[in-house]
């Protein structure tokens, strides 16, 4: 079901903190930056609530939704499988002294080269942030694992930080880069943290949309964004 909502579902963030505390921290942070914004409550179930992010194409709206666990979901209105969850989860987990997670499962739809290229670069990414930096580190990056297509070098695999108990490290030796960290592994890693990534019942009809009024709005419907990125109705949404 969730592939029908790509590229919205190509990238997600999770913060292990109560929803009201996240909202309070966001308001304090963004007011300190001088931003103008508004907050709207949402009560739609998954996946209907995802339409609250349209129109797509610019980072104007952020969606925060409670789950059936200690984690809260983050998504935004970028139209290309954004990785903006990285900076949000890294900053907020460090500020609120909790764990954060940024994940991506982006289908490789790129066709053509140079300025004429269309589609998206594929990636499967798992970035875990701790409540504070590890000893000897400045940033709170706990663990990062990725198999992604780099514009200059093609597919590459990276794994940095402290290995987690649930990791399938033997798979990282696979000859084919895309097989070293797969969408199925991403699902299992999330499940090990208590996140049932693509189960609608995991998400509660409770949350809010944070809208940055200083940011230009997008101009793409979900259907238009899918056409632009060459996402077919039968595509799984991952490489």
Q: Give the list of residues 6+ apart from residue 36 with CB closer than 8 angstroms, or none.
A: 212, 213, 214
CB contact at 8 A, 74 and 14: yes
Per-residue pLDDT band for 96 (boundaries 50, 70, 90) equals very high
Per-residue pLDDT band for 170 (boundaries 50, 70, 90) equals very high
Residue 83's pLDDT is 60
53 has a pLDDT exceeding 70: yes
- What's CA 37's distance to the chain center, in Å? 22
239 has a pLDDT exceeding 60: no
Higher per-residue confidence, 26 vs 121:
26
Q: Give the list of residues 6+ apart from residue 37 with CB closer than 8 angstroms, or none.
A: 30, 210, 211, 212, 213, 214
Task: Supply the DSSP string of 193-215, one letter for each residue.
Answer: TT--TT-GGGEEEEEEEEEETTS
Instruction: Name the percent of the chain lying above pLDDT 90.
Output: 68
39 has a pLDDT exceeding 90: yes
237 has a pLDDT exceeding 60: no
138 has a pLDDT exceeding 70: no
Report d(CA 107, CA 179) in Å as an integer. Answer: 14
Provide the mean pLDDT of the chain: 89
For residue range 186-206, what is the model confidence (pLDDT) as tens digits?
A: 999 999 999 999 999 999 999
Q: What is the mean pLDDT of residues 86-108?
A: 91
Higher per-residue confidence, 153 vs 211:
211
* Spatial strand order in the sheet of 11-15: 37-42, 203-212, 61-67, 72-76, 11-15, 100-106, 123-129, 141-150, 154-161
Report d(CA 159, CA 136) in Å as an integer. Answer: 18
Residue 121's pLDDT is 76
149 has a pLDDT exceeding 90: no
Residue 122's pLDDT is 83
Residue 59's pLDDT is 86
Higher per-residue confidence, 44 vs 148:
44
Residue 1's pLDDT is 46
DSSP code of residue 56: B
Per-residue pLDDT band for 139 (boundaries 50, 70, 90) equals confident
């Amino acid at each position: 079901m969730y592939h029908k909502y790509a590229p919205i579902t190509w990238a997600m963030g999770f913060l292990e903190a109560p929803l009201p505390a996240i909202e309070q921290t966001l308001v304090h942070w963004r007011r300190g930056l001088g931003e103008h914004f508004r907050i709207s409550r949402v009560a739609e179930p998954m996946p209907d609530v995802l339409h609250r992010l349209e129109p797509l194409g610019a980072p104007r709206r952020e969606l925060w939704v409670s789950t059936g666990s200690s984690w809260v979901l983050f998504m935004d209105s970028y139209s290309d499988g954004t990785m903006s969850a990285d900076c949000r989860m890294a900053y907020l987990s460090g500020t609120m002294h909790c764990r954060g997670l940024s994940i991506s499962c982006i289908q490789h739809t790129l066709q053509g080269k140079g300025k004429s290229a269309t589609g998206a670069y594929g990636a499967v990414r798992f970035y875990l942030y701790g409540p504070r930096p590890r000893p000897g580190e400045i940033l709170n990056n706990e663990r990062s694992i990725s198999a992604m297509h780099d514009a200059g070098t093609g597919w590459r695999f990276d794994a940095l930080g402290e290995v987690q108990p649930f990791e399938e490290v033997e798979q990282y030796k696979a000859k084919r880069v895309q097989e070293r960290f797969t969408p199925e592994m991403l699902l299992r890693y999330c499940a090990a943290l208590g996140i049932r990534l693509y189960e609608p019942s995991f998400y509660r009809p409770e949350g809010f949309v944070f809208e940055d009024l200083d940011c230009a709005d997008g101009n793409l419907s979900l259907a238009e964004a899918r056409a632009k990125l060459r996402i077919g109705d039968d595509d799984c949404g991952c490489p």
